[in-house]
Amino acid sequence: MTSAEISTAALRRRIADLAQLPATLHNRDFLLTWKNTDEAVRSVLIAAEVIEQLYRGGLSTRLFQSGLGLSIFRDKSTRTRYAFRAACNLLGLMTEELDEKTSQVAHGETVRETATMISFATEVLGVRDDMYLGMGHNYMLEVRAALDESFAEGVLAQRPALINLQCDLDHPTQSLADLRHLISHFGSLEALRGKRIAMTWAYSPSYGKPLSVAQGIVSLMTRFGMDVVLAHPPGYELLDEPLQAARSHAEASGGSFEVTHSMDEAFENADIVYPKSWAPLAVMKRRTELLSQPESDAALGELERSCLAQNAEHKAWECNEDRMRRTKDGKALYMHCLPADISGVSCEAGEVSAPVFDRYRLDTYREASHKPFVIAAMALCTRFADPAATLGRCLDRNQKRRT
């Protein structure tokens, strides 16, 4: 698509839709999706759609003349790490990543000191801290408190927006990118009402995967009238807070939320399937407890072995051709946050069979492709008082990304 092929009228309609929503995210952080209003979530979705269309049309969305988009990744990442960098670059921000091993954090620098030191000219601060229950979200709250204090006392000329790039509770940039994918696939947000999505545990030969992807999906999709089914073996329960959010959203939206211990039951007549492994809840709680104990390496090693043994009891929890035939017309949309554990490819036995994954491989790439624009939309909505007018100016100036 070139800039000449952009449907200017369609984009202006979407910008007008955005203008009808209150700018409640301005000068706020984006941490837990279920703590934000429907209007705030819709604002991010619309802004992400407009930014993506401008980008695909070859137009610049550079909004900052200077400033930094800084990230802290306390866990490994490919998609989210580079999506954050791409998002900041789209908006005109320089990017940097704090390496705690090579910073003064390694010498005992406190969280509140680090948060201020990296924020002097920072517009957006993204944090990923998802490995330990009760720690990741709390770390972000500590960063938030430090930023509030430093800004209130005049140390910081501005307070950067804090964006959750995944914590122990939620993965907002992933779930909203997934929702953008569903909107694109089915045609509109309204078209998702009544669609059945199966968020299911699946077998993995790896240890300790976070719960937050599944928690983000069930708590987000229920708020837009979808029929959400959560499936997992006994022992792989999710945390209460996102489950309660899912129940409340389903009741308010007219959707539904149910939990089953049968993968087959979840797949039955599903429009969308999302088979993804996560660790047993008791394992995740125990891992956090062991961190505070001296000489815990041996205990952590034993915990990992027991977790893998527990996972191995459920190798039959695989997304395969037989299960896909149970879905609506045998053609449900397969989704995954990637990387998927592909049986016979990346592992001997895993979350999804090779034929199923290969059939939907490009769809999962499309799913991931929305994340830079979702993060850019979060930055836009938190940093600009009138995101609709700001995007309107991008369209009006018609500046090419390549000149």
Q: What is the model's pLDDT at position 140?
A: 98
Give the model's pLDDT for residue 296: 85
Residue 356 confidence (pLDDT) above 90: yes
pLDDT at position 5 = 61
Residue 55 pLDDT > 70 = yes
Tell which residue, 86, 94, 139, 133, has the closest CA to residue 115.
139
Mean residue pLDDT of the chain comes to: 96
- Tens-place pLDDT, residues 79-111: 999 999 999 999 999 999 999 988 888 888 999
**What average pLDDT score do residues 296-315 get?**
94
Mean pLDDT calculated for residue range 268-291: 96
pLDDT per position as a tens digit, 126-161: 999 999 999 999 999 999 999 999 999 999 999 999
Domains of the chain: 3-170+371-397 (3.40.50.1370), 174-368 (3.40.50.1370)
Please say whether the beta carbons of 72 and 142 come within 8 A: no
32 pLDDT more than 60: yes
* Residue 3 pLDDT > 80: no
With 0-12 / 13-18 / 19 or more C-beta atoms within 10 angstroms meaning exposed / middle / buried, residue 47 is buried
Phi/psi region, residue 294 (left: phi>0; alpha: psi -120 to 50; beta: rest), is beta
Q: What is the mean pLDDT of residues 368-391?
A: 98
pLDDT at 247: 98
Check whether 297 has a pLDDT greater than 90.
no
Q: Let me know how many helices (H) and strands (E) the chain has, helices first.
A: 15, 11
Q: Please give the DSSP secondary-structure letter assigned to residue 239.
A: P
Q: Span 234-260, mean pLDDT?
A: 98
Mean pLDDT across 156-180: 98
112-127 as b/e, with b when 16 or more CB fall inside 10 Å? eebbbebbeebbbbbb
The residue-averaged pLDDT of 223-249 equals 98
Six-digit token pair at 302? Answer: 């034993």
Q: Give the pLDDT of residue 4.
A: 46
